[in-house]
Amino acid sequence: MHRTVTAALAVGAGVGLHLLWGLSFLWQSIEEHSRTWGSSIGYFMIVALVSWAVWRGSRTEIRVREAPHD
């Protein structure tokens, strides 16, 4: 259980950091009329892809059973 909580916190922190980076680049492009919006797209896509992958992931525990030996 501990590894699951730690992994969830790590993924959440990484996604949150990328979201904040994307927002900061987007805000900079609005204020200064620069081309940093291109970088923000990359950060937003990472957020979207990781969120999608976590949402699509298995929500049940996978159990591996050994095959009987003959």
Using one digit for the tens of pLDDT, what is the confidence trace for 13-56? Answer: 999 999 999 999 999 999 887 888 999 999 999 999 999 988 88
Question: 56 and 20 in contact (C-beta within 8 Å)?
Answer: no
pLDDT at 70: 63
Please state the pTM of the whole predicted model. 0.72
pLDDT at 17: 97
pLDDT surpasses 90 at 59: no
Question: 46 and 7 in contact (C-beta within 8 Å)?
Answer: no
pLDDT at 22: 96
Domains of the chain, residue spans: 12-56
pLDDT surpasses 70 at 1: no
Question: 25 and 39 in contact (C-beta within 8 Å)?
Answer: yes
